[in-house]
């Protein structure tokens, strides 16, 4: 008998699978808060306020205390405490919970998890406040990235894994006729049964700036394939994933399953607990998003697990020519400003050849491009309300220290095209807002612009030729890691060259994004995030390998 939660969401799952096959535009959840009711913002704020100064409730095993010291980048006191649990207790509980969960059909598991996403979607206004006041994202970005866009990534993972599991039949009758002596030798008949087996307990290690968006693919891919999951959020962004875990646990319980299949692990800022947990023999899958050093440590040391990492990234823009110079400037200015440069997909390094940029109005020199881009950033941020919505707030004090240190050095070197200054937030006066720092550089400065700088920092690099610009981007992708390459060119030869470089280096290529495409968001059901072909990531989210590596196939053969 089919599970009622699967029947409730059967049509949505079918549409998601069709969207994955087509890779064209499809959206499962509306990404405008206006679709969630006239009082969505007020209701979300009220729900969020209930968490402040309180103990977050999770009925998990092995509680040894309480912890959590998140600080809002907007200056709002949070004072939320979460249960701290023994990781051994969480592992044991997950393994017990997997016994019933793994025996359920892939239909049932998909239905229960899509029901959890449905409930999380209804809570998107609440989730937006939680993400805003832990990550520093402005409200609209927080609503989309922690709400519907993250939920769609979770649904994409469920649908991709469900499709892969459906390719495997449950049983077949295998018959072979002896072709040498068909009339005398007996026919071989074997009944074969195939079973999906989970790989084991999974560990999801969350990041500080995009806790839900980066965690949901691995979280839901592991769950739908039958695995238990321990979610270890970044110490500065616990609440969004705590709300997520609570919603999944409640849905599992109502669906007739052990809620300890998924749990939250909260610890301090030290990596010791995470290192110890990640290398335990019972942890068989790890999903990690964060800095390159720890990602590489996991890849080298967590040998007992399948490890998926999304690490540091330096993304470049090559500017050669354009038919829409003003549109290009708007795009570059927005990309340099959005969420204060704290997105892994943002473009940090802009390369332009000595010969300048060809436009319908004539050739723009690199020096003029620097002045024009500086002006475009100023124009974008000249209104304090708009600046606050674009910039968000800087999450970590260390980011501001690094920004100021780099700016001080640039003042001495005379490399500043536009200084970073403190901006005022009209609603949150204690918010940490800084405008982008725009620096000029040459190819000799590769040790500076070729590494990742978290925060509103961009480089305009003057190179000898367009070919040299591509060579620089390829070297950065090889040595440091790159997720994306952006190109502005109306020259078909240059576009072809960019495609070859991007494919060879494992980068997504975006060509001539202007107008309403102010930056390059990643669309669920269409875009592949990362490729695993350079150090920025060792896997792609979400392709077949990302989900199929989370389960094994058992087989029983019986001769009839």
Do 353 and 226 belong to one domain?
A: no
- Cβ pair 273, 267 in contact under 8 A: yes
Report the pLDDT averaged over residues 396-405: 95
Identify the bridge partners of residue 537 per DSSP, sorted by sequence position.
310, 534
Q: What is the pLDDT of residues 232-275, one digit of tens each?
A: 999 999 999 999 999 999 999 999 999 999 999 998 666 678 99
- Cβ pair 278, 202 in contact under 8 A: no
* pLDDT recorded at residue 272: 79
Q: Percentages helix, strand, coil for the chain, rounded to the nearest 5?
A: 45, 20, 35
Parent domain of 212: 4-284+297-307
Q: What is the pLDDT of residues 297-320, one digit of tens each?
A: 999 999 999 999 999 899 999 999
What average pLDDT does the structure give for the chain?
A: 95
Tell me the pairing of strands 63-67 and 82-85.
antiparallel
CATH number, domain with residue 176: 3.40.605.10
* pLDDT recorded at residue 174: 93
In which band, very low, low, confident or very high, does the pLDDT at 370 lie, cut at 50, 70 and 90?
A: very high
Do 437 and 403 belong to one domain?
A: yes
Residue 146 placed within a domain = yes
Domain's final residue, options 273, 307, 341: 307
Tell me the pairing of strands 315-319 and 283-289.
unpaired
- Cβ pair 308, 288 in contact under 8 A: yes
In which band, very low, low, confident or very high, does the pLDDT at 181 lie, cut at 50, 70 and 90?
A: low
Do 320 and 276 belong to one domain?
A: no
Do 368 and 221 belong to one domain?
A: no
Percent of the chain residues topping a pLDDT of 90: 93
In which band, very low, low, confident or very high, does the pLDDT at 543 lie, cut at 50, 70 and 90?
A: very high
Residue 373 has pLDDT above 70, yes or no: yes
- What's the rounded Cα separation, in Å, for the pair 124 and 329? 33
Do 114 and 246 belong to one domain?
A: yes
Residue 187 placed within a domain = yes
Residue with tokens 């008998």: 1
- Overall number of domains in the chain: 2
In which band, very low, low, confident or very high, does the pLDDT at 516 lie, cut at 50, 70 and 90?
A: low
Percent of the chain residues topping a pLDDT of 70: 97
Report the pLDDT averaged over residues 441-464: 97
* pLDDT recorded at residue 289: 96
Residue 123 has pLDDT above 70, yes or no: yes
* pLDDT recorded at residue 366: 98
Residue 26 placed within a domain = yes
Spatial CA neighbour of 534 closest among 476, 449, 487: 476
- Cβ pair 106, 553 in contact under 8 A: no
Do 303 and 344 belong to one domain?
A: no
Neighbours of 305 (CB within 10 A): 23
Residue 28 placed within a domain = yes
Do 332 and 302 belong to one domain?
A: no
Do 80 and 184 belong to one domain?
A: yes
Residue 182 has pLDDT above 80, yes or no: no
Q: Is the dihedral of CA 470, 472, 473, 474 positive or negative?
A: positive
- pTM here is 0.96
Residue 61 placed within a domain = yes
Residue 397 placed within a domain = yes
Do 319 and 336 belong to one domain?
A: yes
Q: What b/e string do you get for 413-448 counting C-beta neighbours within 10 Å, with b at 16 or more?
A: eebebbebeebebeebeebbbbbbbbbbbeeeebeb
Q: Tell me how far apart the 2 most distant CA atoms of the chain are, in Å.
A: 93
Q: What is the pLDDT of residues 40-63, one digit of tens each?
A: 999 999 999 999 999 999 999 999
CATH number, domain with residue 321: 3.40.309.10
Do 442 and 356 belong to one domain?
A: yes
Domain's final residue, options 259, 276, 307: 307
* pLDDT recorded at residue 108: 98
Residue 12 placed within a domain = yes
DSSP string, 30-76: --SGGGG-TTHHHHHHHHHHTTTTSBPP---SSEEEEE-----TTS-
Do 265 and 359 belong to one domain?
A: no
In which band, very low, low, confident or very high, does the pLDDT at 136 lie, cut at 50, 70 and 90?
A: very high
- Cβ pair 114, 5 in contact under 8 A: yes
Tell me the pairing of strands 484-488 and 315-319.
parallel
* pLDDT recorded at residue 22: 97
Do 337 and 362 belong to one domain?
A: yes
Residue 33 placed within a domain = yes
In which band, very low, low, confident or very high, does the pLDDT at 556 lie, cut at 50, 70 and 90?
A: very high
DSSP string, 107-174: HHHHHHHHHHHHHHHHTHHHHHHHHHHHH---HHHHHHHHTHHHHHHHHHHHHHHHHHHHTS-SEEEE
């Amino acid at each position: 008998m089919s599970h009622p939660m699967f029947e409730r969401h059967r049509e949505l799952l079918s549409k998601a699978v069709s969207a994955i096959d087509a890779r064209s535009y499809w959206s499962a959840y509306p990404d405008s808060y206006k679709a969630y009711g006239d009082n969505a913002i007020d209701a979300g704020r009220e729900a969020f306020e209930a968490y402040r100064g309180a103990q977050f409730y999770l009925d998990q095993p092995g509680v040894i205390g309480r912890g959590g010291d998140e600080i809002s980048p907007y200056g709002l006191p949070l004072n939320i405490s979460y249960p701290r649990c023994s990781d051994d207790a969480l592992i044991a509980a997950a393994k017990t919970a997997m016994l019933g969960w793994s025996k359920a059909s892939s239909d049932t598991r998909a239905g229960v998890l899509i029901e959890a996403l449905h409930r999380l979607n209804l809570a998107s206004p609440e989730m937006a406040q939680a993400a805003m006041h832990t990550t520093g994202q402005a409200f609209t970005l927080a609503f989309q990235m922690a709400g519907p866009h993250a939920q769609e990534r979770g649904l994409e993972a469920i649908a991709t894994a469900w499709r892969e599991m459906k390719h495997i039949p449950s049983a077949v009758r295998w018959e072979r006729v002896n072709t040498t002596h068909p009339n005398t030798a007996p026919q071989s008949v074997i009944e074969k049964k195939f079973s999906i087996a989970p790989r084991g307990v999974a560990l999801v290690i969350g990041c500080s700036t995009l806790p839900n968006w980066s965690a949901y693919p691995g979280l839901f891919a592991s769950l739908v394939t039958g695995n238990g999951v321990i979610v270890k959020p970044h110490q500065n962004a616990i609440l969004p994933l705590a709300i997520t875990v609570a919603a999944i646990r409640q849905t599992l319980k109502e669906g007739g399953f052990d809620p300890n299949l998924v749990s939250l692990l909260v610890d301090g800022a030290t990596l010791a607990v995470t290192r110890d947990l990640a290398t335990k023999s019972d942890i068989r899958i790890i999903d990690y998003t964060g800095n390159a050093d720890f990602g590489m440590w996991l890849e080298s040391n967590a040998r007992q697990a399948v490890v998926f990492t999304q690490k540091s990234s330096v993304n470049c823009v090559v500017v050669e020519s354009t038919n829409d110079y003003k549109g290009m400037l708007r795009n570059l200015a927005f990309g340099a400003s959005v969420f204060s440069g704290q997105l892994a997909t943002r473009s940090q390094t802009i390369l332009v050849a000595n010969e300048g940029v060809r436009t319908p109005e004539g050739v723009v020199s690199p020096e003029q491009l620097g002045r024009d881009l500086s002006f475009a950033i100023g124009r974008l941020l000249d209104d304090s309300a708009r600046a606050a919505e674009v910039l968000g707030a800087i999450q970590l004090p260390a980011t501001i220290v690094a920004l100021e240190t780099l700016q001080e050095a640039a003042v001495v070197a005379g490399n500043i095209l536009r200084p970073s200054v403190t901006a005022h937030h009209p609603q949150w006066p204690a918010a940490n807002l800084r405008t982008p720092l725009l620096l000029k550089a040459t190819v000799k400065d590769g040790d500076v612009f070729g590494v990742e700088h978290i925060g509103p920092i961009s480089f305009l690099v003057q190179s000898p030729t367009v070919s040299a610009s591509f060579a620089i981007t390829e070297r950065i992708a090889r040595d440091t890691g790159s997720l994306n390459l952006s190109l502005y060119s109306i020259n078909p030869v240059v576009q072809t060259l960019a495609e070859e470089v991007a494919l060879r280096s494992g980068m997504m290529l975006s060509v001539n994004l202007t107008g309403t495409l102010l930056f390059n968001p990643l669309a669920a059901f269409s875009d592949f995030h990362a490729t695993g072909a350079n150090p920025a990531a060792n896997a792609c989210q979400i392709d077949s390998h990302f989900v199929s590596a989370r389960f094994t196939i058992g087989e029983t053969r019986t001769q009839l």
